[in-house]
Amino acid sequence: MTTPAGHQDPENPAPPPHDAEQIGVRHGLFGPPGTGDTSGYGGLIRPVTLPPSSSRPFGGYFDEIADHLLDELGDRYDDAVEKIVVFRDEMTIHVARRHLPTVALALRNAPALRFELCLGVNGVHYPGDADRELHAVYPLASLTHGRRVRLEVAAPDADPHIPSICDIYPTNDWHERETYDFFGVVFDGHRSLTRIEMPDDWEGHPQRKDYPLGGVPVEYKGTRVDPPDRRRSYS
């Protein structure tokens, strides 16, 4: 079946990249299904994929990081490191959540690694990644060696708990609060895990993909934001 230029056949979306893990299919640019969101291009159909584990050699300094981390963790390495992904010239170490503090401490303290700066934590919501729907991503930088790496941890919607690493990287305090506020990730051990931008009595977590796009009362003004299909048309 052929389709006009710039469109895709809804019955035959483009296949995912080789070896990638497909966790869903995305229709349009924005908005969860059933919301009436018309702000994006609805003809776009593409698979939602996660990059596969990478094979050695990784290239550049990435092999050195993996080797030094293996030396530091020893027998704990296989339990702690789920996979290593090198994608678009960036290295991501996927870590089992219970081992996150151990891995972060090794990356910070080992002289050959010295990732002394954590640039925060970013939340991601993958509704199709069964039992791993919530992800937390930590960009790390080594000022000593001029290198960068990322840690990524996953937790299920039903048990959204990840250990806090504020004792290791104190500047993560507000970043963990923001990720809790917007995604609902509970950082165990955080000294004051409260909302940081939304009001304390706000229900839900606005950056999750299952959060409604409209019809939410606007705080402080006493008005409402209409759902997307009932907003003023500018066409």
**What pLDDT is recorded for position 62?**
97
- Asked whether residue 213 is assigned to any structural domain, the reply reads no
**Cβ atoms of residues 205 and 197 within 8 Å:** no
Residue 69 lies in a domain: yes
d(Cα 135, Cα 140) in Å, to the nearest integer? 16
Reading the chain (235 residues) residue by residue, the pLDDT tens digits are 444 444 444 455 445 556 778 888 877 666 555 655 556 666 677 788 888 899 999 999 999 999 999 999 999 999 999 999 999 899 999 999 999 999 999 999 999 999 999 999 999 999 989 999 999 999 999 999 999 999 999 999 999 999 999 999 999 999 999 999 999 999 999 999 999 999 888 889 999 988 876 655 555 455 566 666 666 555 4
pLDDT computed for residue 223 by the predictor: 58
Asked if residue 169 is part of any domain, the answer here is yes
First and final C-alpha spacing in the chain: 31
Asked if residue 66 lies in contact with residue 83, where contact means CB atoms within 8 angstroms, the answer is: no
Q: What is the rounded (10 degree) CA torsion for 200, 157, 75, 72?
A: -40
For residue 25, what pLDDT is reported?
83
| SS3 label, residue 198 | coil
Looking at the structure of the chain, the number of domains it has is 1
pLDDT for position 3: 45
Q: Which residues of 34-51 are buried (b: 16+ CB within 10 A; e: fewer)?
A: ebebeeeeeeebebbebe
Residue at 161 is within a domain: yes
How far apart are the C-alpha atoms of 19 and 115, rounded to whole Å? 30
Residue 233 phi/psi, 5-degree rounding, is -90, 140
Predicted pLDDT of residue 49: 84
CATH classification at residue 136: 3.30.460.80
Domain that holds residue 176: 62-188
pLDDT attached to residue 189: 96
Whether residue 31 lies inside any domain: the answer is: no
The rounded distance, in Å, linking the Cα atoms of 107 and 157 is 28
Residue 211's pLDDT is 86
pLDDT of residue 218: 54
